Amino acid sequence: MDQIRDVVNKLKAPIPDLPTLLALISGPLDSIGLLPPHYGQYNTAPLPVAVNISRHVPPIQRALLEHVIPTWEIVLSQEKLTSLVEQWFIPDAFSYAKPAAGEVAVHAYAAILSLPLTSYSMNLLARLTKAYPLDRLHSRVFSLRDAHPSPSQSIFEWEDVVKSILSVPARVANALEGKGECPKELEQGPYYSQISLRSEALFWKLSQEQADESMPSITYLLTKLVNIGAFPTSKPTSPSQYSFFLSTLPTIRARLSKGGNAATLYSAFWATILESSPSSFTLQSILTSLFAHISVPDAPLDPSPPSRALVKREATLLLGIIGRLSEGKQYVLDSTSTAMLARDWSEGHARVYACWAAGATAGAIDTKAVSAFLTPTLNIWTSPEHIKHSLLGRHRYLTLLFLATISYLPNSSATLRDLALSGPFIRGIGTYIGHLDPSVRRCGMLVAEEVAHRSGKELDFKDWDGDDGGKPWARDVRQLLGHKDVDVQITGSSEELVVEEIIEENAFGPPDESSQMSQSFVSPPEDYDSDDSLIGYAAPSSRSPSPTLSELAEVEKDPSLRVGKVKIVPPVYLAQLGEMIRGTSGLKTGQESQEVEKVEIALNVGLHNNYDLDGFDVKRQAALNALVACCPQKAAPAAVEEFFKNQYSTDQRYVILNALALGARELACLPLPETAAVQPLTGDRVSFPSKRLPGVQHQGYLLVSSTRQVQELLRDAARLAIENTREANADRTPDLVRERQLRIRQPSKVTEVRQPSTVQLLEQLRISQTRSASIKFTDVAVECFLYPLMNRFWLFLRDEQTREERTAHRDILNQYHSAGTGLILNALVLSHFLATLGVLVHASRNAPAWISVVAPDALELAVTLGTRPVSRAHEDEEESGGESGSAADKNARVLTTALELALVVLDTCVELDGGRSLSLEHTALLLAAGEWAQELFALLEKGILIKGGGGVAEVRLRKAAAGVVIKVDEVSERWKRSMIDFTTY
């Protein structure tokens, strides 16, 4: 071995001439059998001993890179002998098949990367990665049986090769430091894309060889690819990003679509790879990336045959890579369920997952796999945390996934019957029906109807007509589930889908007579819940059916029943109106039947709908609005006083607050948006859900229907405040201003002019008369609206907390709680109270005393209700345990309206005096508001769930919190030098 050591030393030392250099290079090269024949003339000093490649080649390669090439590169290039030197790193095509060539290439990676990279070595590395890719090196490492008698030695060498290969882009980038030009092949995106392609080619080769002993090397390679980010959770959007499945999925799909024994072996090899993953994290990363790269229909609910064929094609792809749910290991099934259910996928993904779970084969539904997949889906879908806090997109994804999965089960199957009677499912439906977001609520209603229908029961909520609250989405889902995606036949290539739909007679349609459940008693499962809130709607009754409205109208028109009936004259004076409503003169004989008609004709004001009159709510609200607008000095304080009395229901309190807010805006000559206009109700309002639900859920519906007007007004005011903040920041950058103007400015459009109805004309006339009145809202806003409302609330809160303290020593059943259901301090009523106050504060911003009196007091009320408990029960909850603090213990509705009220106050202060008065005279209050909003926003960013959040409510809360933080920062930044003791607060 002294001869080899002597060659290395001579290469490191100064070489006198070119022939000596060529002899030193050619001798060892010829000894390992890699000297090209046309270079044989330079081998003037052949070595008498054999060269050990693994021991002797790396020192020679480093000597060439460090000493020979920097000195002799130009001379070798002029003499066209560069290829002879590079034979030590990239053996040519004539030597490619020799075992020594692969081993030399393996050591070449390590030698090049062990030294500082130069322009020459980077180009050499780029050519090496192309000539000797990953799969070629794997074959060489595991073919050295003589050199590595122990399999573990081959694994160790393979790990070194993988580490070297995967570190190339980072090493090149560090060497260049952004100053030089990187070879295209070594850029991060193209390089890892090529690595992905060669890895897939290696998988195919090993699958056909059925080389199960090579599985540890493959799992190690995939683990390293996961660690470097080759399996992203979404498709890359720039060339510098890379993705394994983005590069390889077309090839994988083509190999699996060919069929035959080769495709079967390839599919089995992929299943073995997933089962051999060393950790659940690695497996979930691979599966999540795979799911992110499959194709889904552009219109997720498109029921057309091409869309169904696309869904089935992708389901077949998952079947070929992952296998059947009913045949794989539990370890893989758990990771697969987690990857599908833990992320917010699209509705198109839900269709693919359900089709894959069913087996992706028409006529051979894997019901066992469907049932197994249904269990984790049901657990997530019925989770109270998911129902209360998830956004609408996730609700729709899981709902469609659940419905598409059960659509593959036979009608009235045992799984469906057990599902319909299971306690978790029934409780989940009840929680969904109680949700305040109508779009989320209808997800649960839709599932309830479909499960009942599939189980042979009858259930119809009769609330699906219209375009609001997720109704169009529910109709599209029903149409989609009319047939199954798996029943589409695909012919032709994978790029050009030619489909033929197979229509079954009973595909998600009405069950036939044979599938109807027997009327005999069937014992429910052990987890059956006796709650009949769901099935009570379809309960049979021995009573004869009630007449419909059309039948009653026909009876009313019968002339034989109207003999002797006296026409009631509408009232002219207020005394006549009061007499018709209260009946002070008593009822005369034979006139009892006229009482209902008297009330209906005389109804302009009132709080009780004793006769279920049509349009009662609209007339009552319109009358109170007009009363407040026309007589604000007397009506507004009286309405405030009545609001705090304990004799009214929640709905009646809403009416009072709505009258204060809408009447004030009308008096202030402010326009009312469409959502705040008083419009007749359409449809059967009392059939479902309002008067057929338990009390708590009934209040929830009243919140949505009765508070929408004021909530929309406050939301618009808060949105305007946020836009004002954006405009203030945009003015600092002229480019942003121009871009914003170009984006906001819309071209004029041709619109249809409709003639207003008589009712609308009368309403406009009344509003114009009110606006022409001598009383201005700015003159009465503080005295008659704002301070009666705020002062009376503080007194009410003091009295309620005093009552709680007086009963605190009693047992829990006899303690008084001021925030119970239906009370003013309940989250539903309190949030609407804050919304009303916000509308009044916004409408009165031009009042003389607004900046000095209204602003600080309203902001203090918002901060107090947003941070402090209003009931002793809330204090007990905080002491007992929430780690998140008082902000997270508050209800999301209360927090949102309180933040929006604060945002309106801050924005108006900035508009009036730049925030000077609030900053200099109420510094502590201003900073407290900012600290409160900042803490709450930080909690939301950490993922902490707020009570009553989820759906649209959570998005609105985030916007309000962020708006207050930005607005406080804007005001503080302007006046912080003039604030007293700014740093101490």
Predicted pLDDT at 564: 54
Through-space distance between the first and last CA atoms of the chain, rounded to whole angstroms? 79
The predicted structure's pLDDT at residue 984: 44
Classify residue 236 by burial, with Cβ atoms within 10 Å: 0-12, 13-18, 19+: middle
Task: Go through 425-461 and write b for each residue having 16 or more CB atoms within 10 A of its CB, e for each that does not.
Answer: bbbbbbbbbbbbbbbbbbbbbbbbbbbbbbbbbebeb
Inter-residue contact 244 to 288 (CB < 8 Å): no
**958 CB neighbour count, 10 Å cutoff:** 17
Phi, psi of 692 (to 5 degrees): -120, 15
CB atoms under 10 Å from CB of 117, counted, come to 20
**Residue 560 to residue 456: CA distance in whole angstroms:** 46
Token code pair at residue 927: 């900073």
Helix residue ranges per DSSP H, 844-891 = 855-867, 872-880, 886-889
What pTM was estimated for this model as a whole? 0.62
Closest of 755, 752, 721 to residue 907, by C-alpha: 721
**Measured distance CA(447)–CA(189) in Å, rounded:** 44
Q: List residues bridging with 501 in a β-sheet.
A: 488
Q: Which residues contact 684 (CB under 8 A, 6 or more apart)?
A: 462
Distance of CA 816 to the CA centre of its chain: 40
Q: Which of 456, 428, 458 is nearest to 444 (CA)?
A: 428
Which residue carries 């089935």 as its tokens? 312
Spatial separation of the C-alpha atoms in residues 478 and 457, rounded to whole Å: 17
Tell me how far apart the alpha carbons of residues 86 and 158 are, in angstroms, rounded to a whole number. 23
Q: Is the dihedral of CA 885, 888, 890, 895 positive or negative?
A: positive
Could you say which residues of the chain have pLDDT below 50?
145-147, 493-543, 584, 587, 589, 604-605, 675-692, 696, 698-704, 732-753, 758-759, 761, 770-773, 876-886, 982-985
Cis peptide before 36 (omega within 30 of 0): no
CB contact at 8 A, 792 and 640: yes
* Strand spans (E) along 80-121: none
The token duo for 956 is 């609105």
Query: What's the pLDDT score for residue 737?
Result: 40
> What pLDDT was estimated at residue 556?
58
Contact between 906 and 967 under an 8 Å Cβ cutoff? The reply is yes
Q: Which of 248, 255, 253 is CA-nearest to residue 225?
A: 248
- Please work out, in degrees rounded to the nearest 5, the angle formed at the alpha carbon of residue 778 by the alpha carbons of 773 and 783: 105
**CA-CA distance, 816 to 517, in Å (whole number)?**
49
Measured at the CA of 427, the angle between CA 426 and CA 429, to 5 degrees, comes to: 65
Q: DSSP readout, 252-281?
A: HHHHHHT-HHHHHHHHHHHHHHHHT-SSHH
Mind listing the pLDDT tens digit for each residue in 408-467?
988 878 888 888 888 899 999 999 988 888 899 999 999 999 999 888 888 888 888 888
Alpha-carbon distance of 35 to 87, in angstroms, equals 8
C-alpha 463/C-alpha 442 separation (Å) is 9
pLDDT score for 577 = 62
How long is the chain?
A: 985
Residues 170-185 have pLDDT tens digits of: 999 888 887 778 888 8
| Angle, helix 827-843 to helix 695-706, in steps of 10 degrees | 10
Q: What is the pLDDT of residue 259?
A: 82
Quote the CA–CA distance of 632 and 598 in Å, as a whole number.
29
Is 787 exposed, middle or buried (CB count within 10 Å of its CB: 0-12, 13-18, 19+)?
A: middle
CA angle 384, 385, 387 (to 5 degrees): 60
Q: Is residue 287 within a helix (H) or strand (E), and if so which, with residue range? A: helix 280-293
Dihedral sign of CA atoms 659, 662, 666, 669 in order: positive
Whether the link from the prior residue into 689 is cis, omega within 30° of 0, is: yes
Q: What is the pLDDT of residue 669?
A: 85
Kindly report the backbone phi and psi dihedral angles of residue 686, in degrees, each rounded to the nearest multiple of 5, phi listed first. -95, -5
| Token pair for 719 | 């949105």
Gyration radius (Cα) of the chain, Å: 39
Provide DSSP, 467-507: SSTTHHHHHHHHHHTTS-GGGEEEES-SSS-EEEEPPPTTT
